[in-house]
Structure 1
């Protein structure tokens, strides 16, 4: 039976896409940006109140959801047999992405530009690295469940590739003064990143409930060892 955890990545994707475009709409209506002169970066749309308040809330909720997804993913990959250090590297990159997202929402670029840009780097570049690391380390994992259609992994590879190219293009275009083109690359890269997180709904589709359990220090199990982290809880009548 399908559980409810697959809804978390779907919520994140919908919340983020609708949220940032809502901020864009508010910025245009309130004349905080003038799209007839230059197409704005996402952060420019959320720089002034009242849209800055909405922008902060959208990214804070998104950051908390990203952190929750990354923690669940860590334990799922652990149950699939991924080694500890690669799994920790994946988790750290995901949590840094969440932290960077929160920083972007709470430190506006016109007030704290270095902090804002640091957060943007963590959200975008480290964020896409989160998915590159999974593609890299899961390739040799023989026990990885083949969830979803056969084209799912190639789709993820394609999205990671396009997202990486867009982020590099965004930086190059910005440095060269082509702000509208750079902003367009940023919006497209953000949408791809949201979609990558949303696709994790396929991997979470076989999860119902989860509980975190501590492994014995010795690593030895007195009996048959069940998966250590993501366990389906028994129905209430079993208690």
Structure 2
């Protein structure tokens, strides 16, 4: 039985992949991009309204879902015995990737190019690093659970390898001004990263839910004042 938490990664993958191709379709339909001049980058498709509005909404909600998934994964890895600092490193790379995705959606390439490229770096490069770190630390720990079929782990390794190779090739081809091929690689890497997020559904399949627990802070706690403290301002 799969709990509702296992549906979050699937929802993210479907939402992001479907949403980005919707942006592409709208951009082609209203002739904001011309396919006869070459295949466009994702950001080019999301530059002009109305598709820019869809673009922002898709990536903002996608970033929110990715953030929640990264937090759930952090707690799961902690329960599996992953060390405190490696687990925090994994968490922060995932959160930076989600932040980069939101930045890409809100700072269009034609308006704030530097900020847009910074977000793209976090989304693509740091996002790929997020999955590599998990493979590395889980590979070194032989006692952690292995949810899903035996081919899930090799699949993740293959997808991470492909993402790394294609990301480097994307940058090189962009520098060489082979923009159509570079753009096609960008689309491919983006789809593969969302597929990697979607595969977390396998790991979350044994989770029925999550519980928020509040613990008191260590050390002495200051006693709150019995009544509001008046603020005196000299005029």
- TM-score relative to the length of structure 1: 0.89
- Show the counterpart of 1:235: none
List alignment gaps of at least 5 residues for structure 2: 219-235
- Show the counterpart of 2:145: 145
Q: Distance in 2 between matches of 1:39 and 1:78?
A: 43
Cα deviation for residue 210 of structure 1 reads: 0.7
Q: Distance in 2 between matches of 1:110 and 1:23?
A: 16
- Show the counterpart of 1:77: 77
Q: Alpha-carbon deviations, 1:131-171, whole Å to 9, x = none?
A: 00000011122331111011110100000000111111110
- Show the counterpart of 2:163: 163
- Show the counterpart of 1:45: 45
Cα deviation for residue 23 of structure 1 reads: 0.1
DSSP 3-state at the match of 1:123: helix
In the alignment, structure 1 residue 192 sits paired with structure 2 residue 192: yes
C-alpha spacing 1:101/1:179, structure 2 compared with 1 (3 Å): same
- Show the counterpart of 2:174: 174
C-alpha spacing 1:217/1:81, structure 2 compared with 1 (3 Å): farther
Kindly tell me the number of residue pairs found equivalent between the two proteins: 218
- TM-score relative to the length of structure 2: 0.90
Q: Which runs of 4+ in 1 moved over 2 A?
A: 212-218
Q: Distance in 2 between matches of 1:214 and 1:193?
A: 33
DSSP 3-state at the match of 2:36: coil
- The CA RMSD over aligned residues, in Å, is 1.3
Q: Distance in 2 between matches of 1:110 and 1:152?
A: 39
Q: Distance in 2 between matches of 1:10 and 1:52?
A: 24
C-alpha spacing 1:216/1:149, structure 2 compared with 1 (3 Å): farther
List alignment gaps of at least 5 residues for structure 1: 219-239
Q: Distance in 2 between matches of 1:80 and 1:111?
A: 44
Q: Alpha-carbon deviations, 1:93-136, whole Å to 9, x = none?
A: 00000100000000011110000000000001100100000000
- Show the counterpart of 1:105: 105
Larger-Rg structure? 2
Written as runs of structure 1 = structure 2, the 5 A alignment for 1:1-239 is: 1-213=1-213
Q: Distance in 1 between matches of 2:40 and 2:31?
A: 12
Cα deviation for residue 212 of structure 1 reads: 3.3
- Show the counterpart of 1:229: none
Q: Distance in 2 between matches of 1:215 and 1:93?
A: 26
